[in-house]
Chains A and B, each alone.
Chain A
Amino acid sequence: MRRTNKKSRTIFIFTFLALPVIHLLVFSYIPILSNVYLSFTKYSGVGIPEFIGLRNYERLLTDPQYISMFKNCLWYMIVAIPQLIFAFFLAVFINGKFRGLNFFKGVLIIPYLLNGVIISTIFIIFFNNSGTFNSLLKLIGLEGQQWLQNLRLVNPAIASISIWRYYGFNFVMFLGGLQTIPSELFEAAAMDGCKKLQEIRYISIPSITHILFINILLSISGSIQVFEIPYIMMNGSNGTVTPVIQIQQSAFSDNRVGFAAALSIMVFVIVVIVVSIQRVFDKRGELT
Chain B
Amino acid sequence: MNKETKTYKVLRYVFLIAACIFVIIPLIPLVFMAFKTGAEYSSTSVLTPPKYWLNLYNFAYAIKVGKLGKALMNTAIILGISISIQIMFTTMVSYVLHRFEFTGKKLIFSLFMMTMFIPIVTTQTIVFQIIYRMGLVNKMLSVILLYSGVGIVGIYVILNLLATIPKELDESALMDGASYYRIFRSIIFPLLKPGCTTLLIINGIGLYNDFYIPNLYLRKDVQTFTVALYKFFGNTATPFEIVAAAILLGIIPIGIVFLFLQKHIFYGLAGAVKS
Residues of A near any B CB (own CB < 8 A): 8-10, 12-13, 16-17, 19-21, 23-32, 34-35, 38, 45, 86, 89-90, 93-94, 96, 98, 100, 102, 104-111, 113-118, 120-123, 125-126, 128, 130-132, 135-136, 164, 169, 172-173, 175-176, 179-180, 186-187, 189-190, 194-197, 199, 221, 225, 227-228, 232, 244, 247-248, 251-252, 257, 260-261, 264-265, 267-268, 271-272, 275-276
Q: Is B1 interfacial (CB 8 A cutoff)? A: yes
Contact of B89 among A10, A20, A32, A38 (CB under 8 A): A20
Do B121 and A121 touch (CB < 8 A)?
no
Contact of A261 among B4, B33, B102, B125 (CB under 8 A): B125
B226 touches A (CB below 8 Å): yes
Question: Among B56-64, B161-169, B192-200, B204-212, which stretch is in contact with chain A?
Answer: B204-212
A121-B92 contact, Cβ under 8 Å, with A31-B127, A113-B258: no
CB-based nearest A residue for B268? A172
Contact status A107-B111, CB under 8 Å = no
A98-B128 contact given A21-B108, A176-B274, A227-B212, CB 8 Å threshold: no
Q: By the criterion CB–CB under 8 Å, are A135 and B108 in contact?
A: no
A interface footprint on B3-30 (CB within 8 Å = 1, 0 otherwise): 1110011001001100110111111111
A232 touches which one: B146, B149, B230 (CB < 8 A)? B230
Complex alpha-carbon distance, A93 and B17, angstroms: 11
Spell out B's residues near A (CB within 8 Å). Answer: 1, 3-5, 8-9, 12, 15-16, 19-20, 22-30, 33, 45-47, 89, 92-93, 95-96, 100, 102, 108, 111-112, 115-119, 121-130, 146, 148-150, 179-181, 184, 205, 208-212, 216, 226, 229-230, 233-234, 243-244, 247, 250-251, 254, 258, 262, 265-266, 269-270, 273-274
Which of A16, A108, A225, A261 neighbours the largest number of chain B CB atoms within 10 Å of its CB? Answer: A16
The answer on a CB contact under 8 Å between B102 and A31 is no
> Whole-angstrom distance from the CB of B142 to the nearest CB of chain A?
11
B211 with A228: CB separation less than 8 A: yes
Contact yes or no, B3 A194, CB < 8 A: yes
A113 and B121 within 8 A (CB): no
Chief secondary structure at chain B's binding surface: helix
Contact call A122/B247, Cβ cutoff below 8 A? yes
Q: CA A221 – CA B124 in complex, angstroms?
A: 18
Sample of 7 further A-B pairs with CB below 8 A, known A115-B208, A116-B211, A131-B46: A29-B118, A109-B266, A117-B230, A175-B266, A180-B274, A196-B3, A276-B117
Contact B233 A121 (CB under 8 A): yes
Question: Residues of B contacting A86 with CB < 8 Å?
Answer: 19
Quick one: which of B115, B243, B265 contacts A28, CB cutoff 8 A? Answer: B115
